[in-house]
Amino acid sequence: MYIIVWIFSIAVFFTILYFVVKNAVRNAIIEARVVTRIKVEIEDEISKTACPSCGGEHDMDFPKCPFCKHRY
Ligand SMILES: [Zn+2]
């Protein structure tokens, strides 16, 4: 008789576990997407700089301005 209770308990336990894990994985995926988007936005903002000579916006890793060839 106890075995039925056991099996039922295990079934309930795994059903709850399944939903919890599924929820956690979904939340983690959503969070990762949001974090990635924010990171990309921040990197986009950081990696852009304005030339002090002509005011043109370009990536920070240029050794000189691609518009007016101003050297930093
Ligand atoms: Zn320039």
Per the structure, the complete domain to which residue 44 belongs is given by 2-59
Q: How confident is the model at residue 68 (pLDDT cuts 50, 70, 90)?
A: very high
Distance between Cα 64 and ligand 1 center (Å):
8
Distance between Cα 66 and ligand 1 center (Å):
7
Rounded to an integer, the average pLDDT of 14-33 is 96
Distance between Cα 52 and ligand 1 center (Å):
7
Alpha-carbon span 72 to 18, nearest angstrom: 57
Q: What is the pTM of this model?
A: 0.46
| Assigned domain for 68 exists | no
| Assigned domain for 41 exists | yes
| Assigned domain for 67 exists | no
Summarize pLDDT for 33-53 with one digit per residue, the tens.
999 998 888 777 667 889 999
| Assigned domain for 72 exists | no
| Assigned domain for 71 exists | no
Q: 61 with 50: CB under 8 angstroms? A: no
Q: Which residues, at least 6 apart from 66, have a Cβ–Cβ distance to it below 8 Å?
A: 56, 58
Q: Which residues, at least 6 apart from 46, have a Cβ–Cβ distance to it below 8 Å?
A: 60
Q: Which amino acid is at 12?
A: V
Number of domains in the chain: 1
Which of these, 69, 32, 62, 34, lies nearest to 47 by C-alpha position?
62
